[in-house]
Amino acid sequence: MKKNKSSKNWIIKQHRDQYFKQAKSSGFRSRSAYKLLELNKKFNIFSNCKTVIDLGCYPGGWSQILKKNLKNCKILSVDIKEMEKIDGVDFLCCDFQKKDSKEKILKKLNSKADLLVSDMAADTTGNKDLDCIRTNAICAEVIEFSSSVIKDSGVVISKLFNGQDFLHVKNLAKSKFHRVNFFKPESSRDYSKETYIHCAGIKTL
């Protein structure tokens, strides 16, 4: 297949990138693995975790990190793309944004989760504003869904973009959780508007 100039530039940048090189030599499937490690360092999200859901898991870097760091923990990983098997990780192939997918996720769990992590991002369209709106809509859907799938003491980490609808997501999270923070890992590319929301402690009525 003939590659265009911008995809060639992306491949060159990727190969010069320290996290990409590190991930390759450590056997991680994605450089994103380091983002989750940094998120844990910042928020200590792995402690006392017995059930975790990894939304948007493909190719599996975050699931590898979860498996490595969480002992005796049920891990349910979900993506619209088929993920190559990781021992000890349950995988569900579905589109999170479909209603029956949320029912399938709930059915797969024996108990509510302690931690829900989402690295889901909408497919890029070339229109940055539209990509931002669509990814932030996914993040809002993750926050809405979290109240039915995590414990009251549970934690949510979800990717979002610092742009349109960011405030909407922030206000939604604040209406549902006692603690809401944002963190951009160093391993997240400088030029990307990507950041992560950390929500903890569901507000019960």
Ligand X SMILES: C[S@@+](CC[C@H](N)C(=O)[O-])C[C@H]1O[C@@H](n2cnc3c(N)ncnc32)[C@H](O)[C@@H]1O
If one asks whether residue 29 binds ligand X (CB under 6 A), the answer comes out as yes
If one asks whether residue 156 binds ligand X (CB under 6 A), the answer comes out as no
Annotated catalytic residue 159: yes
If one asks whether residue 95 binds ligand X (CB under 6 A), the answer comes out as yes
If one asks whether residue 19 binds ligand X (CB under 6 A), the answer comes out as no
In 3D space, the residue among 88, 166, 153 whose CA is nearest the CA of residue 116 turns out to be: 153
CB-wise, 2 or 82, nearer to ligand X? 82
- Tell which one of 46, 96, 145, 166 touches ligand X (CB under 6 A): 96
**How crowded is residue 27: how many other Cβ atoms within 10 Å of its Cβ?**
8
CB of 131 to ligand X, least distance (A): 12
If one asks whether residue 61 binds ligand X (CB under 6 A), the answer comes out as yes
CB of 96 closer than 8 Å to CB of 78: yes
CA–CA gap between residue 81 and residue 113 (Å, rounded):
23
- Tell which one of 46, 49, 119, 188 touches ligand X (CB under 6 A): 119
Place of tokens 């870097």: 61
If one asks whether residue 114 binds ligand X (CB under 6 A), the answer comes out as no
If one asks whether residue 146 binds ligand X (CB under 6 A), the answer comes out as no
Secondary structure (DSSP) of 86-122: -TTEEEEES-TTSHHHHHHHHHH-SS-EEEEEE---P
* Candidates 24-32, 39-47, 68-76, 177-185; binding stretch for ligand X (CB under 6 A): 24-32
Identity of the amino acid at 174: K
Binding site for ligand X (CB under 6 A): 29-30, 32-33, 56-62, 78-81, 95-97, 119-121
Show which residues are catalytic. 159
